Structure 1
Amino acid sequence: MTDLIVRKLRFAFAEYPVPFLWNEANPAFSSMANAVSLLAIGFEKMIGGMIAEAMPLITDPVVAEEADAFVRQEGQHSMAHRGHAKALVRAYPGLKETVDACNAMFDKMAAEKSLDYRLAYTADLEATFTPVFKLMLDHDNTLFAPGDDRVASLFLWHFVEEVEHRSSALIIYDHVINDPWYRMRMAPSIFKHVMSVIKVACEGFNRHVPVADRKVDALSLFSTYRAKQAWRRRVPFGWPADEGPVSDAFKHLPKREMATAVAGIVRSQLPNHKPAHEKIPVLANEWFARYDDGYDVTKWYTAEEKSA
């Protein structure tokens, strides 16, 4: 029997405007998280179609139950991120073009790639989430707490549920495909596609959101881009892009923890990787306990203030 719980949460994105710069203390993280929202919509839609296609191949009832709960959790995430994206489009109508472009990249991939590849894509990407999101959740006081509580709470919910179902995609992949080496071989092309979608999102932000509203070049997410811009500024008659300053969203985090996250990402792609063995963020367990107690997790920080 699966341990996953399908939680249906709504974040009041339609009630009042959602700022692009939802964490003013960290514009680079705000932009990065917005790009993740756009990625999530297409990715989780792809998962829905993929699981429907894979279900007839799942012969173990336990795995089938896990797959059903997994896809329903991801469906809730997709719905919530659509609400976030719609709020951004209301403020910046040109962003609809960017949202559509990101979705189209997943639609094209889903149409052209085999079920094996899509299962590997999901297993590979999902495997990275626990080490990456642990780093973020361990520093929620700077990355999430200072921002718009609706957006912060959306990402906290999404990230802790990714930790909760950290093994699901690999369980499904291993049952249907059972070839860990294929998953590892496909990893380079998979992450190339992921970063291509993120790049399209960031380029769209630069194109449609004024610098005054985002405060940072959205392409700052890419370390190679930051390095290139720094080099261009040092060269006489250099030509840095005029899209605002570049900034590293995680520059304030401890280097050792950053290295641990990177090591976790590499480890997650190895054939013998078991996500169940990953260290769980303290905040994730706190989130689950509060949810069980009836706490309003859609207002993670402000509800806490009101009840204090």
Structure 2
Amino acid sequence: MTDLHVRKMDFAFEDHEVPFLWNPENPAFSSMANAVSFLAIGFEKMIVKMVLQAKPHFTNGNVAEEADAFMRQEGQHSTAHRQHVRGLIRHYPGLQQTLDEVIGAYDELTADTSLNYRLAYTADLEATFTPVFKLMLDNDAALFRPGDDRVASLFIWHFVEEVEHRSSALILFDDVVGSDAYRMRMAPSVFKHVLDVIKIACRGFNEHVPLEERKIDAMSMFANYRRKQKLLSVIPGLTAADHGPMPRAFDALPLGEQLVALVGIIRSQMPKHNPAHENLPALADLWFERFDAGYDVTRWYTADSAAPGVN
């Protein structure tokens, strides 16, 4: 029987300003998180179709129940991120084209690849989320707290639920495909596709969001891009397009914690990986405790300070 819970959230993005630079202290992280919103809409749409297609192939009722809860959680994430992105599009209408391109990339993946491949894609990518999101949630004071509370709360909710269903995608993959060798062979193309989609979003930010509002080159999260820009700037006769400064989102985070997350990402792709054994962010337990106690988790930092566990 699945332990997942489907929680419906309303962050009221229709009722208030949705800033692109939602954490002014870290423009690079603001841009990265916004790109996650765009990717999430396409990726989670793919997951829903994948689970529906996979249902006849599940071998037992427990897997089918896990798949249903996983799909419904992802559906809620997609709905909330659509609301976030719609708020951005209200200010920057050109981002509608960016969203269409991101969704189109996942629609093509659904149409052009096998069910087995998409199960591997989902298992590979979801396996990386726990170490990556632990790094973020363990450093919420720098990455989330200084920002717009509703946008921060959206990502905190999404990331803790990704931790909650950290084993789901691999459970589905193992039941239908069950080949670590296949999953590992597919990993390079999986992560290339993920990065290509994020680049679609970041290029769209550079094109449609004025520099004075995004503050940085949205492509600066890609090391190869940063190196290319710096190389072009020193070659006589060549000029690199100047889209702004190129900081990294995690520059202020402890290097040791970044290395731990990197090791966790590598470990997540190894044979017999079991996400259930991963170290978890303490903030996830606190989030679930507060949610169960009735705390308004859509305003994580500004809701009633008398709620349980709030300092």
Pairwise TM-score range, normalised by the shorter structure: over 0.9
Letter in 2 for 1:162: E
The aligned runs of 1:209-248 (5 Å cut-off) are 209-235=209-235, 239-248=239-248
Structure 2: distance between partners of 1:137 and 1:230: 32
| Cα distance per residue 1:239-295 (max 9 Å; x no partner) | 232111111110111111111111111110111110001000000111011111110
- Give the corresponding residue for 2:269: 269
Structure 1: distance between partners of 2:215 and 2:251: 17
Contact 1:153–1:299 (CA under 8 A) maintained in structure 2:
yes
- Give the corresponding residue for 1:109: 109
The yes-or-no answer on 1:98 pairing with 2:98 is yes
Structure 1: distance between partners of 2:233 and 2:88: 32
- Give the corresponding residue for 1:203: 203
The aligned runs of 1:3-22 (5 Å cut-off) are 3-22=3-22
How far off is 1:185 after superposition?
A: 0.2
Structure 1: tracts of 5 or more residues without a match = none
**297-306 or 146-155: bigger deviation:** 297-306
How far off is 1:59 after superposition?
A: 2.2
How far off is 1:224 after superposition?
A: 1.8
Letter in 2 for 1:281: P
Give the TM-score taking structure 1 as reference length.
0.97
How far off is 1:27 after superposition?
A: 0.3
- Give the corresponding residue for 2:33: 33
- Give the corresponding residue for 1:283: 283
How far off is 1:223 after superposition?
A: 1.6
Letter in 2 for 1:178: G
- Give the corresponding residue for 1:253: 253
- Give the corresponding residue for 1:131: 131
Letter in 2 for 1:189: S
| Cα distance per residue 1:177-224 (max 9 Å; x no partner) | 111110000000000000000000000000000001100000011122
| Cα distance per residue 1:80-134 (max 9 Å; x no partner) | 0000010000000010000000000000010000000000000000000000000
Structure 2: tracts of 5 or more residues without a match = none
Structure 1: distance between partners of 2:233 and 2:245: 11
- Give the corresponding residue for 1:157: 157
How far off is 1:227 after superposition?
A: 2.5
**236-245 or 89-98: bigger deviation:** 236-245
Structure 2: distance between partners of 1:223 and 1:291: 38
Letter in 2 for 1:219: M
- Give the corresponding residue for 1:76: 76
Contact 1:18–1:88 (CA under 8 A) maintained in structure 2:
yes
| Cα distance per residue 1:3-44 (max 9 Å; x no partner) | 100000010100022010000000000000000000000000
Structure 1 residue runs of 4 or more that deviate by more than 6 Å after TM superposition:
none
- Give the corresponding residue for 1:168: 168
Cα 1:306–1:227, aligned 2, differ >3 Å: closer, same or farther?
A: farther
- Give the corresponding residue for 1:191: 191
How far off is 1:229 after superposition?
A: 2.5
- Give the corresponding residue for 1:120: 120
How far off is 1:235 after superposition?
A: 4.6
Structure 2: distance between partners of 1:238 and 1:292: 58
Letter in 2 for 1:248: R
Q: Secondary structure at the match of 1:303?
A: coil
**214-223 or 226-235: bigger deviation:** 226-235
How far off is 1:225 after superposition?
A: 1.5
Structure 2: distance between partners of 1:304 and 1:238: 56
Structure 1: distance between partners of 2:240 and 2:256: 31
Give the TM-score taking structure 2 as reference length.
0.96
Letter in 1 for 2:275: P
Q: Secondary structure at the match of 1:302?
A: coil
Structure 2: distance between partners of 1:37 and 1:306: 31
In percent, how many aligned pairs have the same letter?
A: 63
How many residue pairs get aligned? The number is 308
How far off is 1:232 after superposition?
A: 3.5
How far off is 1:234 after superposition?
A: 4.4
**261-270 or 238-247: bigger deviation:** 238-247
Structure 2: distance between partners of 1:132 and 1:250: 11
